[in-house]
Structure formats: C-alpha cells, structure tokens
Chain A
Amino acid sequence: MQHHTLSCCGGVRASLPPPTLSFRWSKIKREGGRRLPRCARIAAQLELKPPPYSLSSLEPHMSRETLEYHWGRHHRAHVASLNNLIAGTDLDGMGLDEIVVVSYNKGNPLPLFVHAAQVWNHDFFWQSIKPGGGGRPSGRLMELIERDFGSFDRMLEEFKRAALTQFGSGWAWLVYKANRLDVGNAVNPCPSEKDNKLVVLKSPNAVNPIVWDYSPLLAIDVWEHAYYLDYENRRADYVSIFLEKLVSWEVVSDRLDVAIERAAERAREDETRRQEDDAAVTHSEAVEMYLDSDTDDSEAE
C-alpha cells in the first residue's frame, strides 16, 4: 500500500496549513506489474491533525483535560464522521476547504457540512492559539486593525461582544473581507485596497466565513464544550483570557498576508477578465440591429 502525503488544492485559498491527506489505494487493478493502476478507487482520508503544541502546554488558561476532550474526542469524532460520510462520494479526495464550501450548498447544507465545517473550524482554532500567546499584534495587521476599528482595544471589545452575544453554540471570527459582488460579471471600476476590510462576525453552530467567501484570520470557539470544564458558565472570562493569553498574533498576521495576497490576485484576475471582455466587445463584428423601416407600411399587406 502506498502512502502519499499531498498538500490539498487551492494554494492561495487556504488560510491555514492544509490538512494532510493520506491516500489509500483500494481495489487496485494491476496490469503488467505497473504500480499505477488504470482505474483505482482512491479513498482520501482526512486526518486528525494535532495542535502545534502539547495538550498540557496551554495550562492554566486552557486545561489539559479540556484539550483531551475537545481535540481528542469532539474534533476526532467530527473527522471520523466526515470520513465516513464522504467515502465513495464526489467529495472524496477534495480539499477540506472545497468540501466545506460545496457541502454548504449556498445555505442549504448537506448533512456532512457540520462535520466538514467543524473539522475546518477546529483545525483553524488550534492554530490560532499557542502557549504564551496574547500581547499585541504589529505591522500590517495592527495598521489594518487601527484603520478599520479605530484602535486595537475597540477591536477586542467588538470581538468580545460578538463572542458573548452568540446565542447557543457557535464561533466568533475576525475576518478579512474583500468586498466583491458574487456575480459573474461584477466589475469594480476603481479597485483599491481600501475596499477590503477587517470585520468581526459571529456564526452559529458550525458555520464558517469561508462559505461567504471571506478570509478568516482568527476564531474563537464559543461552544460550551470549549470552556465549560475550565470556566464553567463564565464565557466572558474565557474570551478575555483567550484574547490576553492565548491568541497567536503571528499566525493571524500570516493569515492576513495570505488573505491580502489572495484578494490582490483575484482583483488582478478580475481586471484581466474585464479587459478581455472589453477587447471582445470592440473586436466583435457589428451586432445586427433591427431598426424601424423607413416606411410606415405594414408588412402584412
């Protein structure tokens, strides 16, 4: 059995290191000793990625027990369910980002959406925090925060408010929003960096801003399982500690760079497409137009 580890598709689209896919060959038809079969059923299995730190390293802000349950049981269960549900379907073999967007189905989600999205969300969440995190961001991230929220503290206030007012289960996000119309021929006549903003939003249950074509930068899990063991019902304390002691602003900055690059690339694509469209119009033959005839006589005579 061959094992390959491949990065998943959509380089600039992914805002986090992609989950590793291990390919398992099944039902291989071998011909003439060739390793690559003519038709093989490839079952791509998404793996449960461990957080980039040990489970006890976030103490005392997030206990080892929480991580054991949250990562070890909740996140793992979603990965298992997702693998079960995509096996043998079209979604098998797609990258996780794509699975999430496709299964969201523009607001009419397939049953596997919750699992796909929760796997994505939790991967993103573990990457967003680190031992010894917190502090303040710097560089372009700080500039954009100050531009779009007024000040870093105001952004934190808004983020906390989103996290606290998310009723029921869900997530609060800081996203980079490249404002574009979701129409095929949408053209922004004067595209500029200023159209793209940082925004705080909240989403229920498993929903995730990539389905709205935003670029998430930071997420906090406000499902109760994320904080109940450590903070009981005190969500406000959890959110404050998360922001003061756990957030990895370096990762957020990196994601911002990726997001800006992605937005710029799409703006360039739009621009080339627009120019091509314009060229197509001017070079095409004159459109036949039906004009009124000079006489007023009816043709039915």
Chain B
Amino acid sequence: MAMALPLAYASSVVHPFEAGRLSFSTKATKHKKQIYQFRNVTKVLAYYGLTNPPYKLDALEPYMSRRTLELHWGNIHRGYSDSLNKQLANSPLYGCTMEELIKTTFNNGNPLPEYNNAAEVWNHDFFWESMQPNGGRLPWGGVLDQIEKDFGSFSNFRDEFVHSAMMLFGSGWVWLVLKTNERRLSIVRTSNALCPLVWGDIPIISLDMWEHAYYLDYKDDVSKYVNNFMDHLISWHSATARMVRAEAFVNLGEPKIPVA
C-alpha cells in the first residue's frame, strides 16, 4: 500500500520538532550536511508513492491484456499519483495514511480537490490487489461462510455482483464491502472516484468499471468483462486476508449461548 514518506526541503524556519526527523534527500552533500546540522528547516511534505501490482503486467492474460495494464497502471494510475503529489505540495495535509487522507479530503460529501486523486490512487492499489493470475472460482473458509450467510449462496452473490456492475452508468466501481454498522457483507456501486471507506465500511473486493479498465480488451461487452473477472481474476486470497483484518474492527461473531 502507498505510505506517507516525509520529504525534506531546506527552508529558513527552525522547528525543533522537525529537527529529529529522518529526511530522504537526493540533493548534494552540502545540502545534506545542512539538514543534519538542523540549521535550516524542513518544510515537510507528504508524498505517496506508486506501488506496483503484485504480478507482472502480462500475468492476467488473456482476461486483462498487458497493454491494458501498461496503460491503466503505467499511465492512468501513475498519473493520479503524480497529480496527487503535485497537489499535496501546496496543501496543509500531512501525516495521513492513504485511508485517512481519503476520509479527510472527502470532507463529508463536500470533497476537497485532492479527493479524486487520493481516492483513485487508493482504489487502483486496492483493485490490483483484488486480482491475481489464476484467480476466480470460489472462495473458501470464513469468506465463503460469510458470503453464504449474507447472500444465501455464492451464486446469488455472483449474480448480484454482476448485475450491479451492469447497472452502473458512467464511470465507477463495484465493491464487495463489509458494512461496519450492519455487520454484514454487501455489494455497493459507486460513481467516479467514490470509495466506501468514506462511509466507514471496509472494502473486500473491488472491480473497476471505468471504461479504461476494459475497453481495449472487451470494447463494449461489459458483461463478458465482469464475468471473466468473477471467473478468472478475482483474488479470494486477498479477500480472505482483508476479511481477517476487517474482523479486528467489526464483530461478526455471534455468541454461542448454550440452551439450557
């Protein structure tokens, strides 16, 4: 996941608090010496790096072509990341994890300009990790149990997911989320860059329904794209790991009250 790294630049104001921070500077040695002498201070900026998908760009063939990934990750995702960093250079937001940044910039429905970029960086990270080569098929264990509990059966869930994706008009995402208040899994469809994190829900799997995600491979055949995602790409390993983490925040258990 993208992490915040402080990037130090010399300036003239002294902040003892900042003095002890690690700085990652690529400037000349003289400059480095200045920083280590804590004489000039640092205007510390937030910086979010672009992470790589956890597989090679051609690993998802033939369901998602290498060219799509080259453009989708290499240009579009990278573009969001660069734009975000450029915006943050002039912004007071600092010290947030990516998730905190999204919630902050969402500003309860009145998003700040950084929101779109931040959310899209996170969304795409999440999306790459929601897929794997040789994915698809069925989940197992706790995830399968929870799906069966909340949707009736896996095929109900699958149908609902595909249906939700087909119903989306315009650009957006389809998510399998764990709703923290309702304490159940649910399928959610969001527009543009909206991310269920802003409602405090915990996403488990996402599918990018922006046209750039599928147009080169499937053109307008959205149903084939979504079905291929479900059958061959979706990473239930990731879903399991995310559910495990989510259960630290949401109590899905039911007390086993012994019947007297």
Residues of A participating in the B interface, judged by any CB pair closer than 8 Å: 69, 73-74, 77, 114, 167-170, 204-206, 223-225, 228-229, 232-233
Given A69-B220, A168-B171: A224 touches B215 (CB 8 Å cut-off): yes
Among B179-234, those with CB < 8 Å from A are 191-193, 210-212, 215-216, 219-220
Q: Are A224 and B210 closer than 8 Å at their CB atoms?
A: yes
List B residues at the A interface (Cβ < 8 Å).
71, 75-76, 79, 116, 169-172, 191-193, 210-212, 215-216, 219-220
Residues on A with C-beta less than 8 A from B216 are: 228-229, 232
What chain A residues lie within 8 Å of B215 (beta carbons)? 224-225, 228-229
| Chain A residues in 8 Å Cβ range of B220 | 69, 73-74, 77, 225
Residues A167 and B193 in contact in the complex (CB < 8 Å), given A114-B169, A225-B211, A225-B215: yes
Q: Choose among A69, A232, A233 the residue with the greatest number of B CB atoms under 10 Å from its CB.
A: A232
Q: How far is the CA of A69 from the CA of B215 in the complex (A)?
A: 11
Contact B219 A206 (CB under 8 A): no
- Chain A residues near B76: list those with CB within 8 A: 233
14 more A-B contacts (CB under 8 A) besides A204-B170, A205-B169, A224-B215?
A69-B219, A74-B220, A167-B192, A168-B171, A168-B192, A169-B171, A205-B170, A223-B211, A225-B211, A225-B215, A225-B220, A228-B212, A228-B215, A232-B216
In the complex, are the beta carbons of A169 and B170 less than 8 A apart? yes
Interchain CA distance A223-B192 in the complex, whole Å: 12
Provide the residues of chain A in CB contact with B170, threshold 8 Å: 168-170, 204-206, 223
Contacts of B71 in A (CB 8 A): 232-233
| Cβ-neighbour of B169 out of A206, A224, A228, A233 (below 8 A) | A206
Q: What are 24 A-B residue pairs whose CB atoms fall within 8 Å in the complex? A: A74-B220, A167-B116, A168-B170, A168-B172, A168-B191, A168-B193, A168-B210, A169-B170, A169-B211, A205-B169, A205-B170, A206-B170, A223-B170, A223-B211, A224-B171, A225-B220, A228-B211, A228-B212, A229-B215, A229-B216, A232-B71, A232-B75, A233-B75, A233-B79
Q: Closest approach, in angstroms, between the C-beta of B192 and any C-beta of chain A?
A: 4
CB < 8 Å: which of A73, A167, A204, A224 contacts B211?
A224
> With A and B bound together, what is the CA distance between A225 and B116 in angstroms?
21
Most chain B CB neighbours (cut-off 10 Å) among A69, A74, A114, A233 = A233
**B residues less than 8 Å from A114 (CB atoms):** 169
CB of A23, distance to nearest CB on chain B (Å): 30
Complex: A77 Cα to B223 Cα, angstroms = 14
Q: Return the 8 tightest CB-CB contacts between A and B, nearest first.
A: A224-B211, A168-B171, A205-B170, A168-B192, A228-B215, A169-B170, A169-B171, A73-B220
Known: A168-B171, A206-B169. A224 touches B193 (CB 8 A): no
B224: min CB distance to chain A, Å: 13
Shortest Cβ gap from A76 to chain B (Å) = 10
Check if B212 sits within 8 Å of A224, measured CB to CB: yes
Complex: A77 Cα to B193 Cα, angstroms = 26
* Closest Cβ–Cβ distance, residue B164 to chain A (whole Å): 15
| Minimum distance in angstroms from B181 CB to a CB of chain A | 27
A77 to B116 alpha-carbon distance, docked (Å): 30
Shortest C-beta distance, B212 to chain A (Å), equals: 5
List the A side residues contacting B171 at CB < 8 Å. 168-169, 224
Complex CA distance for A69 and B221, rounded to whole angstroms: 10
Q: How far is the CA of A45 from the CA of B194 in the complex (A)?
A: 37
Bound-complex Cα distance A215 to B71 (A): 37
* Most chain B CB neighbours (cut-off 10 Å) among A114, A168, A225: A168
Q: How far is the CA of A114 from the CA of B168 in the complex (A)?
A: 11
Question: How many Å from the CB of A127 to the closest CB on chain B?
Answer: 22
Query: How far apart are the CA atoms of A114 and B71 in the complex, in Å?
Result: 29
- State A227–B211 Cα separation when bound (angstroms): 10
- B145–chain A nearest beta-carbon distance, Å: 36
Residue numbers in A under 8 Å from B191 (CB-CB): 168
Residues of B within 8 A of A169 (CB): 170-171, 211
Instruction: Specify which chain A residues have a CB less than 8 angstroms from the CB of B193 in the assembled complex.
Output: 167-168
Contacts of A167 in B (CB 8 A): 116, 192-193
Contacts of A232 on B, CB cut-off 8 Å? Answer: 71, 75, 216
Give A225 to B212 CA distance when docked, in angstroms.
8
- A69 / chain B contacts, CB cutoff of 8 Å: 219-220
State A83–B225 Cα separation when bound (angstroms).
Answer: 26
In the complex, residue of chain A having the shortest beta-carbon distance to the beta carbon of B72: A233
Q: How far is the CB of A222 from chain B (nearest CB, A)?
A: 11
Q: How far is the CA of A224 from the CA of B210 in the complex (A)?
A: 8
- Give the Cβ gap from A141 to chain B, nearest Cβ, in Å: 31
A77: B residues at CB distance < 8 A: 220
A258 to B211, CA, bound (A): 35
